[in-house]
Amino acid sequence: MYAKVIVDLRIKNVNKLYHYYIPARYQKRLKPGMRVVVDFNNQKRMAYVIEIITSSQEANKEILYLLDKTPILTNKQLNLSYLLAENSFQTIAHALKEMLPSKLLVSYQKVLEVIKEEQLDLYYKNLIRNGYLKLSEIDADKIFEVEELIKKRILKPIKKPTSKDSYKKIKLLSIKNENVKTVKQKEIIKRLKEPTLYRTLRAENYSQNIIKRLISQDFIKVELIRDTIENNLLYNIKNKDIILNNTQKNAIDKVSFKASKRYLLTGKAASGKTIVYLEMVKKALNFSKQVLLIVPDKTLIPLVSAKIKNIFNDNFRIYSSEISENKKLVIYDEVKNNEIKIVVGTKKALFLPFKNLGLIVIDDAHDDNYLQRVLPYYHLKELAFELSKMFKCPLVFVTATPSVEMNYQTQLGMIELLKLSDLRLHKPEIKLIDMKEELFKGNSSILSLELIENIKKVLKKEEQALILVNKSGYAPFVMCRSCGSIEGCPHCGKALRYYKDKNILRCHGCNYKKAYSEICSNCNQPKNKEIGYGIEQAYEVLKNTFKSARIVVLESSRITKRGSYEKILNDFKDGKIDVLLGTQILSKAFNFENVSLVAILLADQMLKIRSYLANEKTYQLYSQTIGSLRGKIKTKALIQTYDKKHFVLNALKNEDNIMFYEEELKLRKRLNYPPFSKMAKLTLRGTDEINTFQRLHSIKHHLIKSNTQLEIIGPSEDYFKFKDNYYYFEIIIKAPLRYDIMALLKYLNEKHHKDNILINLYDDSL
């Protein structure tokens, strides 16, 4: 018997299956999905078993030992890893590392392999464990002696794979003998009629000393078990009776739970999208299936989890970066053993070892957090569709603002549209405010006169307002009024953003920071002045204008402390905050009935970002933010702009999705952008700036020469340009729909794998 394995090395020229002989002692135990240790190029390396075969002409070494008793990876996970590796042009080992919780990754510990035990003295023999000596256990004064033993080949220094997959154990107490004497002992025994956790008894103030005495005297039995998980929700919502209308019922009825198919569930704010997909979850559970509900950001988990808990109690798990590594391992095991039916998580939850998946729901499916921006690159919606095909289950995209490409796919019949009715009692009055006219009126404030008046009305009526300023910091850049120089990053040349609260200038490309100074770094004159504004300056202006108002900033960088995000939401829900000022986090599906005003400042800035998706991203963000106005009271949205005629802003003003999609599709077709073409970004990195640029230019020249159908933009500076001591340059490849761009990219990846080339099919800055 032989095993095909993937060795745990993220090197492209070893990204293939290797054959190893399975020793007789392992032949009945070894299965695909298990980890083993093999000798690879005279190193002990962990490897993943992919397949068991009966014969092999390639195997010349045997598997050394097993790391697992049972498979840690399912066949479907292995298949998904191949797709991830192929589409990101990375190794399968890299893909598997992305998929596994850190507790299931191995580390390589420096140890001494014992070659000739009979030549060691008793000191060393007493330290031997399974044929190895740990360096940490050898006395420091033995170092020269150890070096001699290595020279004589009695010991051999190696790196040994070490698994970290151990669960945190907790004590479960139960009765062993009831015949205790004292009153307090009897109270504890009575409490233990049902097996109880030790920590539960301590939390209930039972004496630690008495418990320990009962254990030592054999009255109480102690069993070490895997730590349990509780869904500690910091956000609460009230139970409401769910009554479905006909449109909602029809949407649910259209979903087939016996086949892999994509659905787009869409509708205006408050149309009942969440209610509908929760009813779909019920149906999947009725078929005894598992359900995966994915959200784009961990900040959305509290609200979604509270809704899940209301209906399904605690029969679900949360899987995100907020969860400890030990809990992730427990959840991984629970999902693999089909012990838990619902998982709510961020994108890495897709890689859990589901056994019987019956429904995948991707909430806020338009969100660009579903893009993986670090290696291995992927888009969640693509991998989710592949997983749904493996399980033959439906995949439901949920969003009020689907991407242009997804909307186009519904027109082609590739995705089935489930559109809900608009249930709002009052549609918001949406108004575009021309900031050029504000200047003519003598108002140079970042707040228009109309916005100031409307905030006053909101405060007087004891209602609430949301204000979007999608720019962090105090000012986008700092310029010298004497020489005109802009304070830039010494590494990547980008303008440094000013943060007044920390008194720093920071680069958003490479994260370089330095203290702010009025002294210009170019001419040494004290003439530096902040230009433009961000959320910090907006907060300062609002506080100075509305001194008694309770104004709070909601920004991702400020809510790093656990529970701080939930506290702000609860305070806003409870009326303890009058004005909530935030960046794009404000668009994340808020549902506050007392909000009567939404304002969008700096509305033009997103329309100018370097991407063919600029219009789409702007429309989605502003639509989602305005969607916070749920329509139970009369509401208003004010959009401050310098370009009132822009079709995106007018589509927003009229709440005309059709107009936006039609105009944007016309624009994309004219400029040959997706969905009418295929695109990829090819990035080259190197330590020498000019050489890196020239090498990429040479690659472009050869591509154009041999592929006349291609349009290639660049080379130009990558978004980072310089990071981690590398220069980055990029070209954008645009190909016709019928062109096999994957074949071309695979060729480039193989030909230039030593050139530090990065290929990305999913970059949203294209």
Give the count of beta carbons closer than 10 Å to the beta carbon of residue 1: 15
Q: Is 163 helix (H, G, I), strand (E, B) or coil?
A: strand
For every residue of 355-424, DSSP letters joined together read SSEEEEEEETTT-GGGEE-SSSPEEHHHHHHHHHHHHT--EEEE-SS--HHHHHHHHTTSSEEEEPPP--
678-760: CATH topology is Alpha-Beta Plaits (3.30.70)
* Model pLDDT, residue 349: 98
Helix then strand then coil, % of the chain, to nearest 5: 35, 25, 40
pLDDT in tens, 469-490: 999 999 999 999 999 999 998 8
* Model pLDDT, residue 167: 61
Q: Is 532 helix (H, G, I), strand (E, B) or coil?
A: coil
- What the block records as the tokens of 509 is 């490309």
In single-letter form, the type of residue at position 286 comes to: N
Report the distance separating Cα 267 and Cα 277, nearest Å: 13
* Model pLDDT, residue 302: 82
Residue 565 near residue 449, CB atoms below 8 Å: no
Residue 713 sits at the vertex; the CA angle it makes with 707 and 718, to the nearest 5 degrees, is 125
Looking at residue 744, the DSSP 8-state letter turns out to be H
Residue 489 near residue 602, CB atoms below 8 Å: no
- What the block records as the tokens of 717 is 């500076």
Report the distance separating Cα 299 and Cα 235, nearest Å: 11
For the domain spanning 246-419, the CATH number is: 3.40.50.300
What residues in the chain have per-residue pLDDT under 50?
234
* Strand arrangement of the beta sheet that strand 357-363 belongs to: 316-319, 342-345, 290-294, 357-363, 395-398, 262-266, 416-419
Residue 678 sits at the vertex; the CA angle it makes with 674 and 681, to the nearest 5 degrees, is 105
Closest by CA to 34, choosing from 353, 325, 255, 265, is 353
Give the count of beta carbons closer than 10 Å to the beta carbon of residue 461: 12
Report the distance separating Cα 259 and Cα 243, nearest Å: 28
Strands 579-582 and 395-398: unpaired
DSSP H or E stretch at residue 706: helix 689-706
Residue 308 near residue 278, CB atoms below 8 Å: yes
DSSP H or E stretch at residue 345: strand 342-345
Report the distance separating Cα 235 and Cα 304, nearest Å: 9
Report the distance separating Cα 204 and Cα 185, nearest Å: 15
Alpha-carbon torsion, ordered 578, 582, 587, 592, to 10 deg: -10
In CATH terms, is domain 2-105 a member of 3.40.1440.60? yes
Q: Is 60 helix (H, G, I), strand (E, B) or coil?
A: coil
- What the block records as the tokens of 286 is 């009725």
- What the block records as the tokens of 552 is 């709070």
429-474+533-668: CATH topology is Rossmann fold (3.40.50)
Show Cβ contacts of residue 290 under 8 Å, excluding neighbours closer than 6 positions: 284, 335, 338, 340, 341, 342, 343, 354, 355, 356, 357, 358
